Amino acid sequence: MTTPRLQLLVGGARAETRADAAAVDGPSAARVAQLVRRGNCWSERWVDQFLPTDLRRLSSQHWTPLPVTRRAAQWIRELGIGSMVDIGSGVGKFCVATALAAEDCTFVGVEQRPRLVREAARLAETFGVQDRVTFVQGTLGELELPLASAYYLFNPFGENLHGRADQIDAAVELSKARYERDVSLIRTLLRQAAYGTYVLEYNGFGGEMPPGYRPVRADRNLPSPLRLWRKYKL
């Protein structure tokens, strides 16, 4: 693994002026945060409204839905998970919404696209969780993944197999070769992880979990399957 080349952007990074700020027309951020915290926010739009319009449009396909963050937060609380890294954190929706309902857990999102890192940091600040939710710009394989009790994977490499219309943008390499490289990298990282490490997988990551990982929770009543694995000694 090469030396990390990281640009750390904390949630409190200085906010830029949002061209489409006027598009926010739902409940206030404080009210939405309260609803998410209590598990009572039933509209994706109420969270998504705080994203720029073009990124909001990608939500149903690329960002974790709220029912998934609710279930994740419940499992984090039940199992006392104290830290989580979202591998491919996008606009930060998973980290921010889950953090609101799992108040004893810290989150780091790792994301290759600098613009998404900036927007994620802004979302964390909007919802007041920037002390526990931070984002790092970097690409898997070029950075040392932060250590955590749990890692989250929402099919991060699937975009490599999509046509242009279903991709986030054309700013990064997207190809079948990269897909295979990234899936293999993740399997290596999971093989190296300490016993007791959890992996939360939503809609898979494109490969099989390495030996030693056993399912400890599952929810198949979500838009895609959500599974929590724990690594045990073989």
Ligand X SMILES: C[S@@+](CC[C@H](N)C(=O)[O-])C[C@H]1O[C@@H](n2cnc3c(N)ncnc32)[C@H](O)[C@@H]1O
Binding stretches for ligand X (CB under 6 A) = 62-64, 86, 88-90, 93-94, 110-113, 116, 139-140, 154-157, 168, 182
**Between residues 99 and 110, which has the closer beta carbon with respect to ligand X?**
110
DSSP 209: P
**Between residues 29 and 66, which has the closer beta carbon with respect to ligand X?**
66
Torsion sign across C-alpha atoms 207, 177, 136, 9 = negative
Assess contact for 202 and 70: CB atoms under 8 A: no
**Between residues 74 and 212, which has the closer beta carbon with respect to ligand X?**
74
What backbone phi and psi angles, to 5 degrees, belong to 70? -65, -45
Dihedral angle of Cα 5, 137, 73, 185, to the nearest 10 degrees: -60
**Between residues 117 and 193, which has the closer beta carbon with respect to ligand X?**
117
Nearest approach, Cβ of residue 61 and ligand X (Å): 8
- Planar angle of CA 112, 204, 162, nearest 5 degrees: 60
Nearest approach, Cβ of residue 38 and ligand X (Å): 21
Nearest approach, Cβ of residue 234 and ligand X (Å): 28
**Between residues 163 and 211, which has the closer beta carbon with respect to ligand X?**
163
| C-beta atoms surrounding 33 within 10 Å | 20
CB closest to ligand X, residue no: 88
| Closest-CA residue to 109 (of 5, 217, 218, 9) | 9
Nearest approach, Cβ of residue 87 and ligand X (Å): 7
| Closest-CA residue to 1 (of 184, 194, 179, 141) | 141
Nearest approach, Cβ of residue 113 and ligand X (Å): 5
Q: How many CA atoms lie within 13 A of 210 on its CB side?
A: 20
**Between residues 135 and 213, which has the closer beta carbon with respect to ligand X?**
135
Nearest approach, Cβ of residue 100 and ligand X (Å): 14
